Amino acid sequence: MLFAALIITAFVVAGCLWAFRPLLVPVTAAVPAEFPADSFSHEGFESLLRQYTDANGRVDYAGWHASVESISLLDGYLAAVSAYSPDNTPQRFPSSNDQLVYWIQAYNAYVIKAVLDHWPLDSVTDVKGPIEAITGMGFFYRMRYRFGGRYYSLLHVENGIIRKRHRDARIHFVLNCASDSCPVLKPELPTGTELEEALARAATEFVADPQNVSIDHTAKTVTLSRIFKWFRKDFINDLRRRGLSTDNGLLDYVASVAPDALRSEIAGASDYEIRFSDYDWSLNSK
């Protein structure tokens, strides 16, 4: 009986391991012939974003999916992402900003590829794993994409690479998960010294959106995007690195990046209850 139980257990474990095995998603396209020989260009991807993304960050996935040429252009960009990264070709990414933009734009591009590969769908949560213990596991964890010759999940790129290496809380305002509660998808993200200004602008625009930060003086509540709850540690650590107050926690962070009018309003809400909005996983589609 014991032997039979062990055999059954072994089969169950093997079945679970098989069911939860990573799904490798290779890019079979070739790197474009005109791609730079000694740097990295995001123009191929960003030109597609300018074509298919509106001012509110909504994406025309249906139009993109219907265009064989646009699918091919995205695959060409991802072929370069697959071949090169700051890890295997550091000479292509001379500054920390160049490296950060690579990981952000590569992440955003693979998110779009995943949506297009599974089109049509209403939410990234429609892409299921064998067991969805956590929302989005099928989309963000099970599928693995190639970055500079190595396969990673989107979850690992966000947490194990971008957050771990760069430690800039503003990345949460430019990483896009193809959902309505995500930050607005930016058609362009400059490399080099201009990145600082772009990240600062993205942070200000995010908190200025009432969907992400709203104050009810009658109820004495401040409602924040759930992103602030999930990554609270990043925002508080960012304040500490800048030598700013953390007495009011997340409100101090919001105030530090907010436009003047919102900053003044937050000053009078320091004792308000903080609530977090539900995350809307609906696809950020036009």
Question: Rounded to whole angstroms, how far apart are CA atoms 266 and 241?
Answer: 21
Question: Rounded to whole angstroms, how far apart are CA atoms 48 and 282?
Answer: 22
Are 109 and 175 in contact by the 8 Å Cβ rule? The answer is no
Are 190 and 202 in contact by the 8 Å Cβ rule? The answer is no
User: What's the order of all strands across the beta sheet hosting 221-224?
Assistant: 213-216, 221-224, 273-276
Quickly state the pLDDT bin for 258 (edges 50, 70, 90). Answer: very high
Question: Rounded to whole angstroms, how far apart are CA atoms 148 and 9?
Answer: 38
Question: Rounded to whole angstroms, how far apart are CA atoms 37 and 102?
Answer: 16
Q: For residue 275, give the nearest of 221, 234, 204 by alpha carbon.
A: 221
pLDDT at 256: 98
For residue range 184-217, list pLDDT tens digits in order: 998 889 988 899 999 999 999 999 999 999 999 9
Tell me, yes or no, if the pTM score tops 0.75.
Answer: yes
pLDDT surpassing 90 at residue 115: yes
Q: Kindly give, in sequence order, each residue whose CB lies less than 8 Å from that of residue 87, ignoring residues fewer than 6 positions away.
A: 147, 148, 150
Are 148 and 86 in contact by the 8 Å Cβ rule? The answer is yes
* Residue 74, both tokens: 């995205």
Q: Give the end-to-end CA distance of the chain in Å, rounded to a whole number.
A: 60
- Write the DSSP symbol of residue 200: H
For residue range 53-112, list pLDDT tens digits in order: 998 999 999 999 999 999 999 999 999 999 999 999 999 999 999 999 999 999 999 999
**Length of the chain measured in residues:** 286
Mean pLDDT of the chain: 92
At residue 240, φ and ψ (nearest 5 deg) are -65, -40
Quickly state the pLDDT bin for 135 (edges 50, 70, 90). Answer: low
pLDDT surpassing 70 at residue 172: yes
User: What's the order of all strands across the beta sheet hosting 150-153?
Assistant: 23-25, 143-147, 150-153
